[in-house]
Structure 1
Amino acid sequence: MNHAYLLIGGNLGKIKENLQNARELIGQKVGAVSKASSLYQTAAWGLEEQPDFINQVLLVDSELPAADMLITMLDIEQVLGRVREMKNGPRLIDIDLLFYNDEVIHLTRPDLTVPHPLLHTRNFTLYPLAEIAPDFVHPVLHKKIRTLLQQSPDALPVKKL
């Protein structure tokens, strides 16, 4: 059994409903959701002139290899109406693979890097991740999630909903 941490989020439409639908489809197509963080609201990161995001981290137990998991996640995004128009732009739903077991993965087809290369610089990822996995050790940086949150360079405030 593989254990993956996923970040789900969005800032368009009925955001909480979209997140619920994503959780359900992840449970059906990726694997059982064994933990879910609270919902967290943050200002947009990167492209700032857009609505706030709501994010959540899930721990998923899955039989899928990482590459198949990514493809399935992209399919779920599409089913839920995701259209990729601009990098860091507004979206109905976004699903990112943060960690896959404690593996370090670099694939070109599909394009996949695990751990997610920027997760340690983004409070919208670190806050929900620290809620459900504070002692998980980043397999590249060799630091606990709680430590990465304390050392985060991100100044954007995060609000637990």
Structure 2
Amino acid sequence: MSQQKVVLLLGSNLGEQKKNIELALQKIQEAGNNISQISEFLFSDPVEFASSNIFCNIATVIFTHLTPIQLLNCIKSIEVEMGRINDSKVSGGYTDRLIDIDIIKYNDLNFKSERLEIPHKKHLFERDFSRILLKDFI
């Protein structure tokens, strides 16, 4: 399978946020994905839930051989390995988290399943911090 261009957003609002994101990027690369671009760090308030913990976020472009579902499984595994307990799709709401990794785009694919929607419409069209991070990647 050829390499697929994917845009990811990573965020953390617990612990040492920048280090959490850097570790997640390292694990993404160790899983066989090639990181080609990384945005600057952006700090922002939580969206769609209340917390006194500020988020640190980045966008990144990777190239992967994984299918969308394989990539989702990979990043969910990284989140769990890093200590993420609650997944918003499972718990039905957003909470503070050590790491959050979202697939925003996968080539020009339109894909929807119970676990994954590509493109990630909330990040592309509704969230200001996402649009700032993604402006050079989309």
Q: Same fold (TM over 0.5)?
A: yes
Query: After superposition, where does 1:1-161 map in structure 2 within 5 Å?
Result: 1-84=3-86, 87-108=93-114, 111-119=115-123, 120-130=125-135, 132-133=136-137, 136=138
Please say if residues 30 and 72 of structure 1, whose CA atoms lie closer than 8 Å, have aligned partners that are also in contact: no
- Aligned-pair Cα RMSD in Å: 1.3
Q: Which stretch has the larger CA shift, 71-80 or 42-51?
A: 42-51
Larger-gyration structure (1/2): 1
Q: How many residue pairs were aligned? A: 131
Q: Where has structure 1 moved over 2 Å in runs of 4 or more?
A: none
Residue 88 of structure 1 aligns to a residue whose secondary structure is coil
TM-score, normalised to structure 2's length? 0.90
- Greater RCO structure (CA 8 Å; 6+ sep): 2
Counting aligned pairs with the same residue, the percent is: 27
Residue 51 of structure 1 aligns to a residue whose secondary structure is coil
Please say if residues 50 and 90 of structure 1, whose CA atoms lie closer than 8 Å, have aligned partners that are also in contact: no
> Which runs of 5 or more structure 1 residues have no equivalent in the other structure?
137-161
TM-score, normalised to structure 1's length? 0.78
Please say if residues 79 and 100 of structure 2, whose CA atoms lie closer than 8 Å, have aligned partners that are also in contact: yes
Q: Are residues 11 and 40 of structure 1, via their aligned partners in 2, closer, same or farther at CA, if it must alter by over 3 Å? A: same
